[in-house]
A and B are shown apart, each in its own frame.
Chain A
Amino acid sequence: MSIEERARLVVRVLVVDDEVAIRRFLRAGLDVEAYELLEAGTGQEAITQAAMRAPDLMLLDLGLPDIDGFEVVRRIREWSSLPIIVLSAREKEGDKIKALDAGADDYITKPFSMGELLARIRVALRRNHPAAGDGEESVVEVGDLRIDFARRCVALAGVEVKLTPIEYRLLIALARRAGRVMTREQLLREVWGPAYTTQHHYLRVYMAQLRHKLERTPARPRVLLTEPGVGYRLREP
């Protein structure tokens, strides 16, 4: 990587979609936000571009003409931690999970608004470029909720909330990736261990417990969001 490239402030986004119309509107929308745009129409092209032009983020459509989208994710993950946001249709929960488990950072369902997409992009970029001086983010604040990793302390509107060890680990797992979706398998593996990845009901019981402690109206969550068929997401701070 050359010095001027390292120094560049412009964020490069690689858009991978075989639909010209989608690329066109993304170009328009991202241009306004001063992102530099790279485009690819096939999976092969996407992998080449990702290797040659060092984008900061990739928007990847799963329905590519040549390679399966999740296969693109898998191959890129062999050598790069480039943030990848998957674009997919509503009813393709299985594909989303596959792509996320292969290492994609997040997904967004087509059709989406530009605002939603920009929010996802910001969250995904934050992972790779933590704000200067922040180092490891030690506090996450979402609405009334404040999670202090260093002090292992969770507070709601200034009042400390006591969590069980598993509840705490579950909350931390979500908070570390605040704003991004985590699949059920990822959460189960991280909180309970690899032997529990199919025990989805554990998640449901403990997420309910967490919501009852941290949400004002557990059936109308503001922070601990469910993505049906996929996983969970802590609302973006």
Chain B
Amino acid sequence: MLVVALCTVAAALMHRRFDLSNLTMVYLLGVVVTAVVFGRGPAIFAAIVSVAAFDFGFVPPQFTFRVSDTQYLVTFAVMLIVAVVTGTLTARLREQLDESRRRERRTAALYRLSHELVPLSLPDHVLAVSAKRIGEVLGARVALVRPDAGGVAVVLAGDELLIRMPEEHAAARRAFENGEIAGLDHEAGDRPLLHVPLVAGLQTYGVVSAQPSAGGWSPERLQLLRMLASHTALALERCRLAEATHVAKSQVDTERTRSALLSSVSHDLRTPLAAITGAATSLRDGSARLDDATRFELADTIADEAQRLNRLIGNILDMTRLESGTLAVLKEWHSLEEVVGAALVRLEASLGRRPIQLRLPADLPLVSLDDVLFEQVVWNLIENAHKYSPADSPIDVRATLDGAFLDFEVADHGPGLLPGDEHRVFDKFHRGANAVHHQGAGLGLAICQSIVVAHGGTITAANRPDGGARFTVRIPIGGDPPVVEHEVGESAAASAS
């Protein structure tokens, strides 16, 4: 109406100088503007009103609806037809433009969502991102839920308070079980809570429950919700498949490790067992005929082989616990000297008179480590050096401080490592070429590596320039050790005599 009124004013101003036929153009312009701005219906209405206004205002006799000249009836008819057609076409153009804009927005929203979901591998992250994005895109309160055994919709991500009424829980459950949208049927006010299942492949991963913050569920909004839901479901499916692949792969790895372990272990376990069985049965069956020296030798064999078995089983258990992650690293502030000392005391019997050259700086600070595990590392490294070097050659044990790191080193004067073995020595079941005569399942260094890595450190192997192998453990000190107050009234005077 306003547009028509404006057109009338404009036409009135032009009336003096222009033909009536030109004035119809002004009205047509008005109809086009109406179509662009308000759409098809208002445009048709404007066309009719324009014709009436033109008749009333300009066609002689002016200010009546009567028409003196019948040819004007043709003008009116043409004007009406042109106005309606132009208006309709313009309006449709506008609708198409709107639709393509909507489509563009929808595509952008979907693109953004899938773009954000691609790098995610954890279902929880997918759920959180989806809930947030769907809410933003739709202008709605959104919760991603999954009905539990009792039919209660458990919120996995999004709005915790969205689903409250029992019938809402039931609707979410229906959506989940039937794999179909639920909540459309019962119109709970003009902003119904909708439940769209997250279906991908043969799996239903959950339900998107959404309620618009303003407005209702227009078809476009509904479709957008469906599409966002299906993207979310696909992302969840991807997570599940990735996880399944990962599990399958690690099962293959585990299987491979297990068969290597079995072949190694069955040999390593049977050898000492055979020796024990043989020695024990000899003692039992032939005890009358054996002299004391033989009896002692047999008993000694049993004791040694049993110890070897014990060590092997200990290593296998450690490895298993380290790999399964059931072994917790309990770090405390320890003195390296004490840990090395404990290992050396435990090795006392087997080291015998072997010289150990210790170089531990007196001013080493306390280091944050797990004493039981780290003692195991020290023990393994020294035992290794003992095994692989001539019995009377010294073993060098030293530690140095390098900034925030502690370097601990065990070196021997044996034949050293073969080229290329520097990395392989830490592999499970690897035995150096020099190891032919030595027992063990090749687990000691692998265990060391696992423990050191669990301490946030590294272990490396190299040959010393003057011969022999050197193993270096590098672990972070772990920050500033706690302060131990000095004794009151004590001073340097109380130091050792």
Is A161 a contact of B317 with CB atoms below 8 Å?
no
Is B306 a contact of A163 with CB atoms below 8 Å?
no
* Chain A neighbourhood of B481, CB < 8 A: 201
Interchain CB contact (< 8 A) of A221 among B317, B341, B495: B341
Name which of B173-181, B281-289, B355-363 contacts chain A.
B355-363
A164–B497 Cα distance when bound, in Å, is: 12
> With contacts A201-B482, A213-B496 known, is A226 near B342, CB below 8 A?
yes
Is B342 a contact of A200 with CB atoms below 8 Å?
no
Is A220 a contact of B314 with CB atoms below 8 Å?
no
Is A201 a contact of B344 with CB atoms below 8 Å?
no
Indicate with 1 or 0, residue by residue over A187-218, a CB within 8 angstroms of chain B CB atoms. Answer: 00000000000001110111110011100011
Indicate with 1 or 0, residue by residue over B314-335, a CB within 8 angstroms of chain A CB atoms. Answer: 1001100100000000001111
Chain A residues 164 to 187 lying within 8 A of chain B, measured CB to CB, are 164-166
Is A204 a contact of B366 with CB atoms below 8 Å?
yes
> With contacts A201-B366, A207-B338, A226-B338 known, is A90 near B314, CB below 8 A?
yes
- Min C-beta distance of A118 to chain B, whole Å: 15
Is B341 a contact of A162 with CB atoms below 8 Å?
no
* Chain A neighbourhood of B360, CB < 8 A: 219
* Chain A neighbourhood of B318, CB < 8 A: 91
* Chain B neighbourhood of A211, CB < 8 A: 337-338, 341
A229 adjacent to chain B (CB < 8 Å): yes
B254 adjacent to chain A (CB < 8 Å): no
Is B338 a contact of A208 with CB atoms below 8 Å?
yes
Question: Which bucket holds chain B's interface residue count?
Answer: 35 or more
Is B487 a contact of A166 with CB atoms below 8 Å?
yes
- Measured CB to CB, the nearest residue on chain B to A90 is B314
A96–B15 Cα distance when bound, in Å, is: 112
> With contacts A225-B345, A228-B339 known, is A164 near B490, CB below 8 A?
yes
A160 adjacent to chain B (CB < 8 Å): yes
Is A221 a contact of B345 with CB atoms below 8 Å?
yes
* Chain B neighbourhood of A229, CB < 8 A: 371-372
* Chain B neighbourhood of A201, CB < 8 A: 332-333, 366, 481-482, 484
Chain A residues 81 to 123 lying within 8 A of chain B, measured CB to CB, are 90-91, 93, 111, 113
Interchain CB contact (< 8 A) of B303 among A113, A161, A227: A113
Interchain CB contact (< 8 A) of B344 among A111, A164, A205, A220: A220
A34 adjacent to chain B (CB < 8 Å): no
> With contacts A212-B496, A219-B358 known, is A204 near B490, CB below 8 A?
no
- Min C-beta distance of B312 to chain A, whole Å: 13
A110–B197 Cα distance when bound, in Å, is: 59
Is A220 a contact of B484 with CB atoms below 8 Å?
no
B126 adjacent to chain A (CB < 8 Å): no
Is A208 a contact of B496 with CB atoms below 8 Å?
no
- Min C-beta distance of A167 to chain B, whole Å: 8
- Min C-beta distance of A154 to chain B, whole Å: 10
Is B490 a contact of A220 with CB atoms below 8 Å?
no
Is B337 a contact of A219 with CB atoms below 8 Å?
yes
- Measured CB to CB, the nearest residue on chain B to A205 is B484
- Min C-beta distance of B171 to chain A, whole Å: 51
Is A219 a contact of B344 with CB atoms below 8 Å?
yes
Is B344 a contact of A161 with CB atoms below 8 Å?
no
B55 adjacent to chain A (CB < 8 Å): no
Q: DSSP majority for the A interface?
A: mixed
> With contacts A161-B497, A208-B338 known, is A220 near B366, CB below 8 A?
no
B375 adjacent to chain A (CB < 8 Å): yes
* Chain B neighbourhood of A206, CB < 8 A: 484
* Chain B neighbourhood of A212, CB < 8 A: 362, 496
Is A220 a contact of B333 with CB atoms below 8 Å?
no
A32 adjacent to chain B (CB < 8 Å): no
> With contacts A217-B358, A219-B344 known, is A162 near B332, CB below 8 A?
no
> With contacts A221-B345, A228-B372, A229-B372 known, is A200 near B358, CB below 8 A?
no
- Min C-beta distance of B331 to chain A, whole Å: 11
Is B496 a contact of A162 with CB atoms below 8 Å?
yes
A21 adjacent to chain B (CB < 8 Å): no
Interchain CB contact (< 8 A) of B345 among A160, A163, A207, A220: A220
B35 adjacent to chain A (CB < 8 Å): no
* Chain A neighbourhood of B356, CB < 8 A: 220
> With contacts A163-B494, A201-B333 known, is A227 near B341, CB below 8 A?
no
- Min C-beta distance of B480 to chain A, whole Å: 12
* Chain A neighbourhood of B314, CB < 8 A: 90
A159 adjacent to chain B (CB < 8 Å): yes
* Chain A neighbourhood of B362, CB < 8 A: 212
A90–B344 Cα distance when bound, in Å, is: 17
* Chain B neighbourhood of A200, CB < 8 A: 332-333
- Min C-beta distance of A157 to chain B, whole Å: 12
Is B490 a contact of A159 with CB atoms below 8 Å?
no
A200–B369 Cα distance when bound, in Å, is: 13
- Min C-beta distance of A168 to chain B, whole Å: 10
- Min C-beta distance of A17 to chain B, whole Å: 18
Interchain CB contact (< 8 A) of A220 among B358, B371, B372: B358
Is B490 a contact of A161 with CB atoms below 8 Å?
no
* Chain B neighbourhood of A207, CB < 8 A: 335, 338
Is A204 a contact of B334 with CB atoms below 8 Å?
yes
A217–B348 Cα distance when bound, in Å, is: 14
A229–B374 Cα distance when bound, in Å, is: 11
Is B497 a contact of A160 with CB atoms below 8 Å?
yes
B475 adjacent to chain A (CB < 8 Å): no
- Measured CB to CB, the nearest residue on chain A to B399 is A219
Is B333 a contact of A204 with CB atoms below 8 Å?
yes
- Min C-beta distance of B87 to chain A, whole Å: 86
- Measured CB to CB, the nearest residue on chain A to B334 is A204
Interchain CB contact (< 8 A) of A204 among B335, B375, B487, B494: B335
A212–B341 Cα distance when bound, in Å, is: 12
* Chain B neighbourhood of A202, CB < 8 A: 484
B163 adjacent to chain A (CB < 8 Å): no
* Chain A neighbourhood of B496, CB < 8 A: 161-162, 212-213
* Chain A neighbourhood of B334, CB < 8 A: 204
Q: What are the nearest 6 A-B pairs in CB distance?
A: A229-B372, A201-B333, A213-B496, A226-B342, A228-B375, A205-B484
12 A-B pairs besides A201-B482, A217-B358 with CB distance below 8 A are A90-B314, A111-B306, A159-B497, A162-B496, A201-B366, A204-B338, A205-B484, A207-B335, A220-B344, A220-B345, A221-B341, A226-B371
A-B contact pairs, 5 of them (CB 8 A): A91-B321, A111-B310, A162-B497, A201-B333, A225-B341
Using a CB–CB cutoff of 8 Å, the interface residues on chain A facing chain B are 90-91, 93, 111, 113, 159-166, 200-202, 204-208, 211-213, 217-221, 225-229
Using a CB–CB cutoff of 8 Å, the interface residues on chain B facing chain A are 303, 306-307, 310, 314, 317-318, 321, 332-335, 337-342, 344-345, 356, 358, 360, 362, 366, 371-372, 375, 397, 481-482, 484, 487, 490, 494-497
